[in-house]
Structure formats: C-alpha cells, structure tokens
A and B are shown apart, each in its own frame.
Chain A
Amino acid sequence: MLGRRRFLGWTVGAAAGAAVGGGASAGLRALFASAESPIVPPRGPERVVLSVCDLCSGGCGVRVRMVGDRAVRVEGNPLHPVSGGRLCPRGQAALQALYHPDRAEGPLRRRGPRGDLSSFVRATWDEALGEIGARLAEIRAAGRPEAVVLMTGGGGAGLGPRVARRFLSAYGSSNHVALHRGDEAAAIALLLAQGVRTAPALDLQSADYVLSLGSALLEAWSAPVHATRAYGEFRRGRTGRRGKLVHVEPRLSITAVSADEWIAVRPGTEGVFALGVAAAIVGEGLHSKPFVAERIAGLEDERDADGRMRPGLRSVLAQRYRLEQVEAETGVPGDVILRVAREFASAGASLAIGPRKGPILPGRLFDHLAAGVLNALVGAVDAPGGLLVADEPPLPAWPPLPGGVSAAGRARPRLDGAGAERPLLASDPERLAEAIRARAPYRAEALLLLDADPVFASAAPEAFAAAIEDVPLVVSFAAIPDDTALLADWILPGSHYLERADLHTTPAGVPYPLVSLARPALPRPVRDARPAAEVFLELARRVAPELAAALPWKDLDALLHWEMEGLHAARRGAVMGTAFDEAFVRMMEGAGWWAPGYRTAAELWTRAHESGGWWDPFYDHGDWRRVLRTASGRIELRGDLLAPPPAAPDRDGTLALLLFEPLPIAGGTGAELPFLQAILDPGHEAHWETWAEIHPDTAARLGVADRDWVRLESPRSSLVARARVTARVVPDAVAVPVGLGKRGGGRWASNIGANPLRLLAPTRDPLCGLPDFGATRVRVMRARRPNGSA
C-alpha cells in the first residue's frame, strides 16, 4: 500500500522528471535544428544580363543569371570572342566580390589618424562630391591644375579609367600614372623594334612551337581566358598538328608544368639563353632569309647618320653570345641550346614570348628584346602564329579639351618624369612617390586612386606610404578599402561591374579590335556605391563649365550612346556572334566587303547588347604600314641594346629573389575573395599564406625543413614566409608569390601573408628605367612563427 507521502513523492518526482526531460528534449531539438542554415532562396523572375568582367584586364564577356534582384551565377558569354563562354577562376569568383561583406557602406570621410578603418565616418555623395569638387575647383582657380595626380591600376579597359583620364586632361593635368606596368616592357620592346606603342598580341592558336622565356602565358596573362583558349587549340584543336611549348625559367611555374620541356636557367638569364639560341640560328643560317632580307634592319653592322659604326646583331651575337659563353652563364648545356635553336627555326610557325609575369611584374626589357629578336629572325612578325599588333576600335573622338588654364597645366612637366627623364616609360609610380616627397618640380595637391593600391603593389610600398601623408587630398575609389585607401582622406566606393553599364575596348594581347558592352545586372548597387565614371562626370560639372563641356554626358548610358553611334559611323566590323558569323565576316572583309548585320545605329545598339558587343575579327596580315613605324620602315634588331643588366653582386649566401604572381591574386587583388585564397598553388597545399620555394640542397645548407618558417632579408626590408622545400626552383634562388600581405582588403585578405615587394632593391633597368623586379638578392634563415598565423 502506497502511503500518501510516498504517492506525493512519486508524483512530484515524475513531474519534475518530465519537466527536466521535456526541457532537455526541447534543448536537444534546438541543438539539432541549428544544423540547418537559415538561408532564404531567391525568388522572382529569371533573366539573363550580358556584362563584362573587370576582375583583371582580360575583358571577358559574361552572362549573368538573375533571379529577382539577385545575381546568382556568372558564366562566360558564348558569343564573346575573348571568353567564348568560358571564365577563369577570378571571373567565377565575381559574385563573392559583389556581395562581399566588407564593401564600404558608402562614401567615407577620414576623421581620425591615417591607416585605420575606424577613422572613417559615413558621408553622403552630395557632401563628398561637394567638398572634393570645391577643392578641385579651388586648385584649378589658383592656376595649379597640374598638381592633381590620377593613378589608375588594373581592372580592364572600361569607361571608368577612360573618363577619369579625360577628366584629368580636361582639368589641366598630365599626371596620369598607371600603376600596373605588366605590359610595359613588352610594349617598349615592340616600340623599339617596330615603332608602335602598344602591347603585342600573340596568335598562339596558330603557332607550332612556342619558346616561353619565363612568361606567365598560362597564368596571370593580360587576357588569361583568351590565352588559355588559344592554348587548348594550340595543343589539340587542329587535327594532326600538336603545338610544342618549351619554357625557360629558373622556376617550374604553372606554365612550365604544362610545357613539353622545362629548361631551368640561372636566375636572370632567360634573355641570355634566347640570344644564345639566336646566335645558333644565325650561325647555322637557319633564320628566314627572305624575311630578314625584306623586313629586318640591323642584322649586319652599319654606319649610322653620324658616321659611327653600329654593331649589327650578327656581330653582337658572335662576340657576346657564343655557345660556350651562354652555356657558362645560363647553366644550360650547349647541346640543349643547339637543339632548341634548330627546333625553333625549323618548326612551321614559331613564337618567342618574353617574361611578362603578371600585371605588376613586366619582366626585363632585355629579355623582351631577346624574344623579339628570335621572332624577327624566323619571320614570326605579323604572320599567322606570330606576333600581331591589334588595331584600335574605331570609337569616336570625344569633345575637344579646354584650353587656357587646362592647356597650361597639361603643358607642365609630369611629376614622375615619364617620357622626359625616362623617355621610354609611360608611367613611373616610384618616381612619383619621390617627387611628391621632394615637392619638386611642384607640390602634389591631390591624388585620385582608381583601382590602384600603390602602398601595396608598387616597387616602393613604404616610400608611397610616406609620400601619401604629404598630399593634402587623397581620394580612393576602392570598393573594399585597400592599403592605400586606409591612408586616404576620402573613400568613394566604386560600383562592382555587375552594378553598372560599361563599355570595354580591346584587352591587351588580343589581336582584333573589340568593343564589349555591359548592362547593369542589379537594379541598384548592394552598397551605396557609384560607378567611378559617373563620379568623374559629376565632378566635371561641379568644377568648371568648360570641363562639363569637354565631358558633356549626363551619365554612363549617354556616353555609351555617343560611343556606339560613333562606332556605327565607322562602317567596319560586326556584332559578336557564333563561330559561323565570325567566319562569314572574315570571308567578306577579306574580300573587301562590309557585312555587319545591322543598318542603323539603333540596330547596332540593340544587337550589340543582345550579343555582348562589336568586333572586327579580320586581321590583315602583312599590312606593314600599320605595324611598322620605324624610321627605317623595317623591324629594328637593336644589337646595341643587347647587353644584359649587370647581375646584383653575389653576396655570400644570398639567394636570387624570384617573384611571381599566381593568377588568383594577380595584380594585388583577389586575396579578398576566399575562393581565390584557397587555390593559390594547385597541388601543393599552399594557400592562405605566403610561401618561399627553396631547393632541397639549399634548404639542407640552411637547415630549413619543409613548412618551417623562414625570414627573407634584403637591404630594404624583411619578411617571414612558410618555406616549401621543392626541386621546382633552382638552388641559387628563392621564389615568393606576390599578392598577399595586405593590411586592408577585408577579413579574408587583411594580415594574411606578407608582401615581397617590400624587399625590392631600388634598382632600375638601365635601358628603359623600369624597376628591375628581378635584381634583388635576399638572405634566408629560419625564423619564428609570425603572430596570428596557424
């Protein structure tokens, strides 16, 4: 018999148990439910928008899938001649940039000390443009418009940089400095050889034998998707013909991995190797004699206008690049040099490519000249499978620039001395930093930065950081505050390419004129951002009426109409289309007909927007008047210039610093996007950190094991990186990727990795004055783990 007390005890106990149990089970259920992500799928009508990617200078046309107001997928536009429906990993990651959590909320004004994001406060566009416009008007009214400097960077040939440059000129300054000089050395080599100032284009898909002198052809190339598509065809796209790729570099790069042969030369001797090959070709008489006879100048010695004897290529090669000399200098056996020479000269269509490594690393002029010599010797200039010169798209002229104050300002010498102190250079950012600090020849009063981060991506990062402090007004258009933006006075976040209309001209390295059109995919930007082009148009209106007259467009759409109407008036080319359309247009233009597929400008507008843009696929090979503008009317082999820069004195125990740009972080951008941080070095487990490749023999000598931390020390600076012991690099060198080590850039880039550009010695190429990115030697030693790293 249960007593009352017992019964009460049991019921209370049972109730308590049930409560605890119920609570526990509810808690457990909540815990289990936390497994699901609270994601709200997009809803709304689907549509497709055509646009142009600007995550690099490649200019790939893209197709964007929109669901409602959300962009959910970006793919290549199949009708676009550059992308052909395909995209590189950067293009695929575009949506991560669009919806990046660390995009600036809107215009930011600095109120506290420089260098800290928390120093910035929100402002409205009206306030920002009002103040900046007023300041610019002030500077111009005081008669010093040349004191305004515009720096542009990577990110494509869209309207943003073009309008910005036009604004600067209309305003009255010639201080437009381009930070990314990846194409410079190749362009200067082409200028010296053919008298044309542009980056050369390569007809890779029609070549049979490619000798790559340390180029990043299959990595951070100027138009990566275009080059890789061509490579696919080069290999297996032509029945019965398979192209052969030989890669010469002290490091087994990604391009080298794809090559049929990797020739490991000593650091800095790619050009010497190329000239050794050239010497063998000339020595054995394997060069294309008809072509040389008709189109080349400078093979033999000749007297110049002053009566002095200028050495010809033949004597320079015979004197300085004999087989045994080249063998000793490069470390490559003579029989390899001879074999490559014979293969190069006897293949159907051969092509030599100079060491452009990415948007930041142009390679040395000497090496590019050497590549040009090889191409000239075998007739690979303006021929199928060879070096081509792209024609400009026939876009209309813009309204004339104002005179008066503006003309006077434009006439003043540039702060960076490009074109004057260093006549071959178009831009000299490092000299600009010096000039700003020295305040000579005049003080810089404003610095506008469009897609440019010189505090990170120049050859003198620390000099820039110091110089910027000296400029009273610094405005950055970065969407995610980068290192330079953190030091700026104003951040005017630029819109993502999917948020604006745009028009892109031919990307560097593509041989036919292109006009790619972009429509805005999103009805309004994700953050309070504006297209830089429209900001400059607005500033023009605020600064002075004559600027507004020089840039008379209300917005981007108005400018686009202007451009397209001019394009229509040129009566050339066709809208982008299928391969069939392309073949048809080529056939017609080859016979002298124009068969565009549109009649009126309105029709051109509609059709171009439906397909992705306009282009002219016909390349007129052998139009020498267009591609040769030298005094002699021939391709100049500048034997007098073919002395390699002196190698840095080999201090005991130092290693040559080899820099390279992995495609995901090329140009100093990309580290902000987590999908790109994860793929920095395929197959080698290196990601989210800066690594230093060291040869096993060297590592043994230094007492360094794989994955140890090492310090690299140069006279300028030092950094800590993760050692990767690998036979991928020659014993005398250490290879470090460029693109990590930012302070800004948001949560996935900030304080990750280290920036090897800080290590660079301030050496300049003696031929042209470009910074010599390959001349630095560093000391390597074991180090302790850096703070905050795993």
Chain B
Amino acid sequence: MARWGMVIDLDRCTACQACVVACQVENNVPPAGSVDAARGRAISWLRLVPLDGREAHGTRPALRLVPLPCQHCDLPPCTPVCPVYATQKDEEGFVAQIYPRCIGCRYCTTACPYTVRDFNWRRPEWPAPMEQSLSPDVSVRPRGVVEKCTFCHHRLQLARDQARAEGRPLREQDYVPACVQTCPANAMAFGDLDDPRSTVARLSRSPRAFRLLEELGTGPKVVYLSKGEWGA
C-alpha cells in the first residue's frame, strides 16, 4: 500500500498563500467574516506559520514562513484520544476525520502538537448565491464537528476511479492535493514516500530535509526542505 506524503521546498516557497486559498476553495470551507476572524474562529486547513531564523549577513531577525498542513503523522497523537473513533489513521497513512461520527469534544484538537485542526464553531454558511460554487466532491460539514486537512483524499478516490475506468494503474501525477497543484513556485511535491522512485521519496532524502517537531516522535509525513544555500 502507498504511504502518502508531501515535500515542501522552503527555498522555492514565496509565502504567496495560493495554497491556503486553494485548499479552502477545494474543500468547501466556509468564508469567515471579520468578527469570526478576529476571534480566532476562521477555518483554514493550511496556514503559514512564522519560524524565526537568523540571516547570514546581519543581526536583524529574518523569518521563515512555513506552510503548515496536517502532517498526517505515522504515530498521530490525535487518534488515540478520540473517544468515538472519529479520527483514525488508515492503511495508506491518511489521518482521516469522520464527520458523521465526531461528537465535537475537541480532544483531538488539543492533543495535536501542531495545532492544525479546526472546528465548526457555527453552522457553515454561504450567503446566496455563493453556495453555488461548492464542489460536489467534498461534503459540507455540520456545526459542531472537527475538520482538518485530508490531503484532498477525495481526489485520490476520483483518480483511482478514473484509472480503473481507463484500465491502467494510478500514476504519480494523477493524484495531487489542491495546494500542491496550484503552488506557482512549484514548491510542493506529493506522492508515495514508500516508492523509492517517487519525487517525494527522492526529495525527502535531501540533506536539506527536515520535519517539524521531529523530537516528539509523531512521525510527520510532511517533509520540509530548508531555505538557503547548502545542499543540492
């Protein structure tokens, strides 16, 4: 079985946030107004977080702006704590969120050390006629359940169906999440980490590769390539 992972090259990333908006559009995330945003309730499955660094030629603080999706950990701290099995890791490594099962206790949200999980504090609403642009492939969540990045799992299902209909195996380029597809700098790659020939497997072996909060042993499947000069 495949083990799906992502590589984000911070040397290419320009922090334009196309990935952030693409994810929201693809996954029927409701738009938040200024009030909800000010209260910290806007839903965004993918965010840019600032990780401070020091630049080489000076003493002023430099920033790295790092896209942070759900890391789909191999040893996720969020799945054991769900009292109703509403979030589980499946055989292909996706940490899935099952909306009809979720009771909204938010234990998984507090257990996640990356803080990448979101919650529907209110019923998602789209002022008419904005609901017309909703994608039919992704369910609209109700009020009171947790949601998070799914690596656009619905696209995998569609790609598999397509491949089956055409009588061929699934190719690497058939399934990419919305963020990877839209990144103008081509900073994101996606694929099977267990396939030694895949782009992500190759890139994850780069000397520039690192993962976030590795020391916690969560085994995140999002690999970052550090910004800067060194490494090929």
Contact = CB atoms under 8 A, between A and B. Distances in A.
Interface of A: 34-37, 39-43, 67, 70-76, 85-89, 91-93, 95-96, 98-101, 218-219, 224-225, 228-229, 231-233, 235-237, 239-240, 242, 252, 254-255, 257-258, 260-262, 264, 336, 526, 663-664, 674-679, 682-684, 687-689, 727, 747-748, 752, 790
A89 B135 contact: no
Contacts of B136: 41-43, 67, 72
B16 A101 contact: no
A75 B37 CA distance: 26
A678 B32 contact: yes
B17 A679 contact: yes
A101 B56 contact: no
B127 A260 contact: no
A688 B135 CA distance: 26
Interface stretch (B18-26, B83-91, B214-222): B18-26
Contact of A674 (B32, B48, B64): B32
Contact of A790 (B31, B35, B57, B227): B35
Contact of B34 (A40, A99, A252, A677): A677
Given A231-B14, A678-B37, A87 B131 contact: no
Contacts of A237: 186
A675 B24 contact: yes
Contacts of A242: 11, 229
A72 B61 contact: no
B184 A228 contact: yes
A235 B32 CA distance: 35
A85 B57 CA distance: 37
Instruction: Identify the interface centre among B25, B123, B130, B228: most chain A CB within 10 Å of its CB.
Output: B25
B181 A75 contact: yes
Nearest to B49: A683
B145 to A, nearest CB: 8
A264 B59 CA distance: 11
B18 A678 contact: no
B60 interface: yes
Contacts of A254: 14-16, 65
Given A674-B32, A675-B31, A683-B15, A727 B61 contact: yes
A678 B50 contact: no
Nearest to B185: A232
Contacts of A95: 25, 133
21 contacts: A37-B125, A39-B134, A41-B134, A67-B136, A70-B133, A89-B18, A91-B18, A92-B18, A92-B22, A95-B25, A99-B130, A232-B12, A242-B11, A252-B62, A254-B15, A262-B55, A262-B62, A674-B32, A683-B63, A790-B35, A790-B38
Nearest to A522: B132
A35 B144 contact: yes
Contacts of B202: none
B14 A258 contact: yes
B186 A252 contact: no
B21 A676 contact: yes
A76 B182 contact: yes
B24 A727 contact: no
B128 interface: yes
B133 A261 contact: no
A40 B33 CA distance: 23
B20 A34 contact: no
B183 interface: yes
Given A93-B21, A261-B57, A687-B37, A235 B125 contact: no
Nearest to A92: B21
Given A72-B136, A262-B55, A224 B184 contact: yes
A331 B124 CA distance: 52
B8 to A, nearest CB: 12
Given A89-B21, A92-B22, A261-B57, A72 B14 contact: no
A678 B25 CA distance: 13
B9 interface: yes
Interface of B: 9, 11-18, 20-22, 24-26, 31-35, 37-39, 42, 44, 48-50, 55-58, 60-65, 123-136, 140, 142-144, 181-187, 227-229, 232
Given A228-B184, A232-B185, A790-B38, A37 B124 contact: yes
Contacts of B58: 261-262
B16 A261 contact: no
Contact of A70 (B55, B132, B232): B132
Nearest to B68: A683
B130 A100 contact: yes
A405 B39 CA distance: 61
B120 to A, nearest CB: 9
A233 B12 CA distance: 8
B142 to A, nearest CB: 4
B9 A87 contact: no
A88 B133 contact: no
Given A70-B133, A262-B58, A682-B48, A228 B15 contact: no
B57 A86 contact: no
B15 A101 contact: no
A199 B61 CA distance: 35
A526 B128 CA distance: 11
A667 B129 CA distance: 26
A674 B20 contact: no
Given A36-B123, A240-B232, A254-B14, 17 more contacts: A35-B123, A37-B123, A42-B134, A75-B181, A87-B182, A89-B20, A218-B16, A229-B185, A235-B185, A252-B62, A257-B15, A258-B13, A258-B14, A261-B57, A683-B48, A683-B65, A790-B39
A367 B207 CA distance: 39
A526 B42 contact: no
Nearest to A256: B62
B33 A679 contact: no
Nearest to A217: B14
A623 B120 CA distance: 60
Contacts of A255: 14
Contacts of A232: 12, 184-187
Contact of B44 (A70, A93, A678): A678
Contact of B142 (A35, A73, A239): A35
The 3 closest A-B pairs by CB, nearest first: A232-B185, A683-B50, A674-B31
A682 B65 contact: yes
A72 B65 contact: no
Given A72-B136, A229-B186, A235-B11, A252 B21 contact: no
A260 B182 contact: no
A34 B143 CA distance: 8
Given A35-B144, A257-B63, A675-B25, A99 B123 contact: no
B143 to A, nearest CB: 4
B14 A261 contact: no
Contact of A678 (B9, B11, B42): B42
B38 A688 contact: yes
Contacts of B129: 99, 101, 526
Contacts of A664: 17
A228 B142 contact: no
Contacts of A684: 50
A73 B25 contact: yes
Nearest to B104: A35
Contacts of B17: 89, 664, 679, 682
A252 B63 CA distance: 9
A261 B56 CA distance: 7
Nearest to A240: B232
A153 to B, nearest CB: 22
Residue from the set A74, A96, A675, A752 with the largest chain B CB neighbour count within 10 Å:
A675
A103 to B, nearest CB: 9
Contact of B135 (A73, A86, A676): A73
Nearest to B145: A35
A260 B25 CA distance: 32
A328 B186 CA distance: 41
A228 B63 contact: no
A684 B63 CA distance: 11
Contacts of B48: 682-683
Contacts of A35: 123, 142-144
